[in-house]
Structures are given as structure tokens and as C-alpha cells.
Amino acid sequence: MNKHSQRLFLLISFLFWFSHFIYIPMLSPYIEQIGGTYTFIGIVLASYGLMQFLFRLPIGIGSDLWNKRKGFVVAGMAVSLLSCLAFALTESLGWVLLSRSLAGIAAATWVAFTILFSSYAAGRDLHRAMGHLSFAVVFAQLLGMALSAWIVEEWGWHAPYWIGIMTGATGLLLSLFIKEGSSEAKREPVQLKELGTTLKEPMLLKVSLLSILAHSVMFTTIFGFTTDYALSAGLRASEITLLVFAFMIPHAVSTLLSGSWFVPKFGKWGTLQIAFSAAAIFTFLMPFADTKAALIALQLVNGFALGLVFPLFLGMAVEEMPHAKRATAMGAYQALYAIGMFVGPFLAGILNTYFGLEASFYFSGFISVLGVWCSVKWQERMKAESVF
């Protein structure tokens, strides 16, 4: 596949995620502003992950059975556009829940995006290709989230959704011009009876559980209640952009360093242990941060730490799979990690209602400690098995 096609696909991926994240930092304050409780905020945040849990695996299986990816990419862009349109034209708690649920359904098609892009790369370049795709995603998250508070302050609560509509429409138009990967056209569709073994692959299950933990932390904190906590600590809405930059810039940098520097130096499991350890320590410290400088410092480390794990998970989930089963493996992986995206913020919302906003950070710190423990135990087990 030529570089023009790859660049077009990266641009479409950027537009897809930009339309999702342009409103994220101000979503929780917006729901609170129109009358939602912390528990309801948790439900809305959880609905995004729940839809992905329900739809990602069927999309992955369907993509493998039909040997097609492009149609799912186009559909994902269309539903993403519809989600922003519903947000922009309404202002009620019920519609907020429905709109965010639609965004989750759109995000469920990401399994087709990742497999189509991975088919553009040779096997030895898989981790590098996933790093480029992860960087496009993180850059979209960074730019969208950085602009969100400023846009709301300048043009009102609904302005980010209208911008999401414009970028979503552009991405939908461009997605009509992408092509199926060359390796997709040369193989037969996978047989349904072969997929059961894919879903039982031990490495896939281990990676998925670790990703559940990492996504739980991320969607409870920076994509969840960090903004609410920062505003309650005295930051102005315009200063939320600083927190976003503090988290997302190191996050973007570490996605590129994960496969190129950390894994060669520390190994895959060592890198995961470093990342989860740093996330645990600096998330536990969040309730003690009562100044802008302290909040920014903690976001710098947390952003870098969590950025290390996601491109690594993407590669580890499918690297031992034959290409014919990769979409199903990726669909299973993405469906499973979506558990963290809805269970994490849902439980955190309940804890926040009863114990205050600090509870979500203690909860996320504990989840990170669990990630350290699992990665250490599994590394030890794999070393023991390799001896025999």
C-alpha cells in the first residue's frame, strides 16, 4: 500500500477521534450544568464503553467473515457524525445519554480501522505501524481536548458539538476513497468454526485484562472526573486546557517511545510494570494536589505512563494471530477493554456521590496497583514455562 493511502487513512483516523474528543473535557461539567448528578455523569461516561463492549466483537467477527473493512470504517464515521448532531440539537439528560451511546457505537467500529491499517504494513513493521496509528489518535485527542474549554468559553456549551459535526462530515467524505488492504484481497474469509480458538488465546486474554485496567484508569480520570476535580480545586474553565496539554503531550510522546525505546530496553512486561507503577503512585497523589502547578505535574507523569501501554497492547493482542483471525482478535480485545471504559467511570461516579471526587482517584490508583501485580505475575509465569 503506497504512502498516500496510509496518510489518507491516518487523516481519517484523526478526524474520527477529533470529533469524539472535542467535547470530552467539558462533558462532565456540561451534564452537571443541566442538572445531572455524579452518579448520572458516571452512567453517561459508562454508556460509551458499554456500547463498545456490546458491538466491538460482533463487528470484528463480521469483518472477518465478510473479509471487508472499509464499510465498517464508513459506517463508523457516519454514526460519529450523528452523535455530534444529536448533542448539538438537544439539551436534556436523556438525549445526552443517547448521544454518548451513539458515540460508543461509532467507536466500536475502530476494530475495523485498526485491522485495515495493520494490513497496510509488513509483519516486521506491525508495532511501528500501530505506533503511528496510536500517535494519530493521541494527537486528535490532544488537539480536541485542548480546544474544548476555550471553545465553550468563547461560543457556548454546544459549540464543540458543531465543530465535531464539521470534522465528522469531512472524515465521512474522505472515508469513501480509502481502499481495502492488499492482504485483505488475497485471502479467503475466515470460517466461523475457527474463531472459537481465537477467543481462547491466553495472551489475548492477558493483554485484554491489563487493558481493562488501563482504560478504567483513563476514563475515570482525564476522560472522566479530572476536569470536575480541577474546577472544584479552583481552576478556571480556560485553565483546563493546561491540564489537557500536560496529560496529552507526554501521552503522545510516549506512544512513539514505547515500541522504539522502552520495549527494546525493558521488554514488554517490564515496560508495562513501569507504566502501571507510575500511574498508581501519581494517581494516588491527585487528592492532595490543591494547586495548579501540582495538578499539572501529576498529569505530566500520568499522561506519559498511560501512553506507554496502549500501542504495546495493540501489538501484543494480535502479534501471535494469523492475519485471517486478527480482526476477531482485535474485536475481542477492544470489546473486553471496553469493560474498563464503562465499569471504571460507573463505579467511580457512585463512589464520588458518597465520598466526594477524591474517591475516584483512590479507586484508579488501586486499579493501577492491580495492573502492576498482574504484569509481574504473568511475566514470572512465562519465564517459568519457557524453562521447560
**Model confidence over 170-180: pLDDT tens digits?**
999 999 988 87
CA 203, CA 251: separation in Å to the nearest integer?
A: 25
Measured at the CA of 182, the angle between CA 181 and CA 188, to 5 degrees, comes to 95
- For residue 87, is pLDDT > 80? yes
Residue with grid cell 501521552, as numbered in its chain: 251
8 A C-beta contact, residue 160 and residue 99: no
Helices (H) and strands (E) in the chain, counts: 17, 0
Q: Which of 79, 373, 48, 28 lies closest to 230, judged by CA?
A: 28
User: Which contacts (CB < 8 Å, 24+ apart) does range 181-188 have?
Assistant: 181/1, 181/69, 181/116, 181/117, 181/118, 181/119, 181/120, 182/1, 182/119, 182/120, 183/119, 183/323, 184/67, 184/68, 184/69, 184/116, 184/119, 187/67, 187/323, 187/324, 188/67, 188/324
CA 131, CA 302: separation in Å to the nearest integer?
A: 19
pLDDT above 70: percentage of residues in the chain: 92
CA 299, CA 226: separation in Å to the nearest integer?
A: 10
Q: How many other C-beta atoms can be found within 10 angstroms of the C-beta atom of residue 202?
A: 11
Ranges 144-158, 179-193, 239-253, 371-385: which has the least confidence: 179-193
- For residue 191, is pLDDT > 80? no
pLDDT tens for 336-382 read 888 999 999 999 999 999 999 999 999 999 999 999 999 999 998 88
The whole-chain average pLDDT of the chain stands at 88
What number is the average pLDDT over the span 244-260?
Answer: 88
Confidence (pLDDT) at 185: 46
Q: Give the orientation angle of helix 3-21 with respect to helix 93-108, to 10 degrees.
A: 160
Confidence (pLDDT) at 166: 97
Q: Which of 49, 108, 40 lies closest to 79, judged by CA?
A: 108
Q: Which domains does the chain have, with CATH numbers?
A: 7-176+197-387 (1.20.1250.20)
Q: Which of 299, 305, 298, 251 lies closest to 277, judged by CA?
A: 305
8 A C-beta contact, residue 44 and residue 96: yes
pLDDT tens for 260-276 read 899 999 999 999 999 99
- For residue 125, is pLDDT > 80? no
Largest Cα span, the chain: 65
- For residue 49, is pLDDT > 60? yes
Q: How many other C-beta atoms can be found within 10 angstroms of the C-beta atom of residue 5?
A: 16
Confidence (pLDDT) at 255: 83
Residue 191 φ/ψ region, left for φ over 0, alpha for ψ in the -120 to 50 degree band, beta for the rest: beta
Q: Is the pTM of this model over 0.75?
A: yes
pLDDT tens for 277-315 read 999 999 999 999 989 999 999 999 999 999 999 989 988
Ranges 12-26, 96-110, 173-187, 211-225: which has the least confidence: 173-187
Residue 274: helix, strand or coil by DSSP? helix
